[in-house]
Chain A
Amino acid sequence: MSEVGIIAYGTSPFTKEDHKIESMLHKSTNDLFKKNPSINKNEIDAVLVSTNNNSKYLSPVLSEMAGIQPKIAHSIESLCNSGTNSIVSAFSYISSGLADMVLVTGAERYDSPGQILEWDNSRGEFKHPIFWASIFSKSYKREYGISDEQLAIVSVKNHKQAKENSNALSKKTYTVEDVMNSKKLTEDLRLLNCSRPCTGSASILLASKEVTDKYTDMPIWITGIGQKTTSAGFTKNTSLTSMESTAIAGQSALKMSNRNISEIDVAEVHDAFSVCEPMILESLGFTNPGEGINMSQKLHEENNFMINPRGGLIGSGHPLGATGISQTIEIVQQLQKTAENRQTNNPKTGLVHNMSAAATSSTVLVLEK
């Protein structure tokens, strides 16, 4: 299997602005080419678009706008983890030999139709994500004796880290009291416990080893991929205090990269809501069950940006189709030591965790220098 490297990236700011999806796709793609003027667009074999937007034929549209005539052009949708699904598809095209260079661009508008899975009628009238997040929060707190104040620390930490990310939606820092006094959405969820849908885009260029060696002396390699889908419906989750799909995807990715979780130096994980971060840390094996919140709290107290350095979804915002790509770009920057004020201490191996629909599916990537 051919090695696959990441050779370039581009991004837009994440905002609440009203822009056409086509314009957003072009924005981060253009940023990528402006930052990397030596890239020959004629060498791009495939253009993959990650979005939940209902507009049609977006990959050929983006290709035309960006001046690319690829062999392969299509969209990929898988709700919130569309972005890493697209990266996995790009990896597969390259490692199979069907392509040598693939552009992946993800974009979303603040009013994305991907926020609610209409099909999931088992949720009855409670289809908005705040309801599954409330059930996870209640169950997690009950199982491990965790307080709302403890969960609020995730939001405090990730907003603090987002302040060092100029593209993040959040520009403010908050205290535990601020989180506890923010708007009460349900008995178990406050507004500041939630990531917010927004408008944004992110692009990444992947290539075979031969092409990677030609374009960069700082390549980042995708050495592990794990994916798992357990269901589509939230109520099929067998556990409400852990994430089965995340655990399986994480084990697969680490096995493929021949790494242990203790070797991961920095990670972006899918903190759609505060409770998700400790659940993910535990499901990936960073900590024992019930101890994830202690890890988040310790990192916050030590001002250690190891988990969600760009601010996670809570701080950065959550433009669904762009999120997994933006997470991956952050780990690339961390490994290349170009993350400026967010830079962690000499990381060599990083991990990306991206999931959909209450962790009914997960994707995990391992990235290395």
Chain B
Amino acid sequence: MSFENELEKGQFCLPECMSCKKWVWPPSEFCDRCNGETSLKKEELKGKIIEFSKQNDNYFCIVEFYDSIRIMAKMTTCPKKDQIVKISKCGIIDGSYFFHII
């Protein structure tokens, strides 16, 4: 089970170090702290909006999970700073990840 295979199926899984239990981001086979191997965890993640801006009708936001993992995600409604959100859709298009939040 690889991060990208799961993402292609629309599943956002986080790699966790099997040795020291650190969440590893960006996704990797190995832990950047203890060099241990990681395994993917399917979590119902809730993130916090750190900052956002807008292009045309869509907002793009920095969203933080577990106080450490940050991604940029699209939102169609007007966000608020510190708003709690979840990933509604994710995947890979032309080699690039995408994340939508509500």
Chain A contact residues, CB within 8 Å of chain B: 118, 121-127, 131, 134-135, 137-139, 142, 185-189, 233-236, 240
Q: How far is the CA of A126 from the CA of B70 in the complex (A)?
A: 13
User: In the complex, which residues of chain A have a beta carbon less than 8 angstroms from the beta carbon of B93?
Assistant: 125
CB distance from A118 to the nearest CB of B (A): 7
Q: Quick check: A240 and B50 within 8 Å, CB to CB? A: yes
Within 8 A of A (CB), among B40-91: 50-55, 60, 62, 70-74, 81
**11 further A-B pairs in the complex, CB-CB below 8 A; given A126-B72, A186-B53, A240-B51:** A121-B26, A122-B26, A122-B70, A124-B71, A124-B74, A127-B96, A131-B55, A134-B55, A135-B51, A235-B62, A240-B50
Q: Quick check: B73 and A233 within 8 Å, CB to CB? A: no
Q: Quick check: B74 and A125 within 8 Å, CB to CB? A: yes
User: In the complex, which residues of chain B have a beta carbon less than 8 angstroms from the beta carbon of A121?
Assistant: 26, 96-97
User: In the complex, which residues of chain B have a beta carbon less than 8 angstroms from the beta carbon of A188?
Assistant: 53-54
User: In the complex, which residues of chain A have a beta carbon less than 8 angstroms from the beta carbon of B81?
Assistant: 142
CB distance from A233 to the nearest CB of B (A): 6
Given contacts A135-B53, A138-B53, A240-B51, contact A124 B26 (CB under 8 A): no
User: In the complex, which residues of chain A have a beta carbon less than 8 angstroms from the beta carbon of B71?
Assistant: 122-124, 235
CB distance from A234 to the nearest CB of B (A): 8
* B interface bracket (residues with beta carbon within 8 Å of A): 20 to 34
User: In the complex, which residues of chain B have a beta carbon less than 8 angstroms from the beta carbon of A118?
Assistant: 95-96
Is B99 positioned at the interface, with any CB of A under 8 Å from its CB? yes
CB distance from B30 to the nearest CB of A (A): 16
User: In the complex, which residues of chain B have a beta carbon less than 8 angstroms from the beta carbon of A131?
Assistant: 53, 55, 60, 72
Q: How far is the CA of A189 from the CA of B53 in the complex (A)?
A: 10
- Most chain B CB neighbours (cut-off 10 Å) among A138, A142, A185, A189: A138
User: In the complex, which residues of chain B have a beta carbon less than 8 angstroms from the beta carbon of A186?
Assistant: 53-55
Q: Quick check: B51 and A125 within 8 Å, CB to CB? A: no
Chain A residue nearest in CB terms to B55? A186
Chain A residue nearest in CB terms to B99? A124
User: In the complex, which residues of chain B have a beta carbon less than 8 angstroms from the beta carbon of A124?
Assistant: 60, 71-74, 96-99
CB distance from A129 to the nearest CB of B (A): 13
Q: Quick check: A138 and B60 within 8 Å, CB to CB? A: no
Picked from A125, A135, A138, the residue with its CB within 8 Å of the CB of B98 is A125
Chain A residue nearest in CB terms to B73? A124
Chain A residue nearest in CB terms to B26? A122
Q: How far is the CA of A160 from the CA of B102 in the complex (A)?
A: 44
Q: Quick check: A125 and B96 within 8 Å, CB to CB? A: yes
A-B contact pairs, 28 of them (CB 8 A): A121-B97, A122-B25, A122-B70, A122-B97, A123-B72, A124-B71, A124-B74, A124-B96, A124-B99, A125-B72, A126-B72, A131-B72, A134-B53, A134-B55, A135-B52, A135-B53, A135-B60, A135-B62, A138-B52, A185-B55, A186-B53, A187-B55, A188-B54, A233-B26, A234-B72, A236-B70, A240-B50, A240-B62
CB distance from B32 to the nearest CB of A (A): 10
Chain B residue nearest in CB terms to A237? B70
User: In the complex, which residues of chain A have a beta carbon less than 8 angstroms from the beta carbon of B52?
Assistant: 135, 138
User: In the complex, which residues of chain A have a beta carbon less than 8 angstroms from the beta carbon of B73?
Assistant: 124
Q: How far is the CA of A240 from the CA of B81 in the complex (A)?
A: 13
User: In the complex, which residues of chain B have a beta carbon less than 8 angstroms from the beta carbon of A189?
Assistant: 53
Q: How far is the CA of A135 from the CA of B49 in the complex (A)?
A: 12
CB distance from A136 to the nearest CB of B (A): 9
Q: How far is the CA of A139 from the CA of B95 in the complex (A)?
A: 29
CB distance from B67 to the nearest CB of A (A): 11
CB distance from B39 to the nearest CB of A (A): 20
Q: How far is the CA of A46 from the CA of B53 in the complex (A)?
A: 46
Q: How far is the CA of A135 from the CA of B26 in the complex (A)?
A: 20
Q: How far is the CA of A151 from the CA of B52 in the complex (A)?
A: 18
Q: How far is the CA of A177 from the CA of B78 in the complex (A)?
A: 28
List the 7 closest pairs (A to B, CB-CB), nearest first.
Answer: A235-B70, A187-B54, A134-B53, A121-B97, A125-B98, A186-B55, A126-B72
User: In the complex, which residues of chain B have a beta carbon less than 8 angstroms from the beta carbon of A138?
Assistant: 51-53
CB distance from A147 to the nearest CB of B (A): 16
Q: Quick check: B55 and A139 within 8 Å, CB to CB? A: no
User: In the complex, which residues of chain B have a beta carbon less than 8 angstroms from the beta carbon of A236?
Assistant: 70
Q: How far is the CA of A127 from the CA of B81 in the complex (A)?
A: 22
User: In the complex, which residues of chain A have a beta carbon less than 8 angstroms from the beta carbon of B99?
Assistant: 124
Q: How far is the CA of A124 from the CA of B87 in the complex (A)?
A: 12
Q: How far is the CA of A122 from the CA of B98 in the complex (A)?
A: 9
User: In the complex, which residues of chain A have a beta carbon less than 8 angstroms from the beta carbon of B26?
Assistant: 121-122, 233
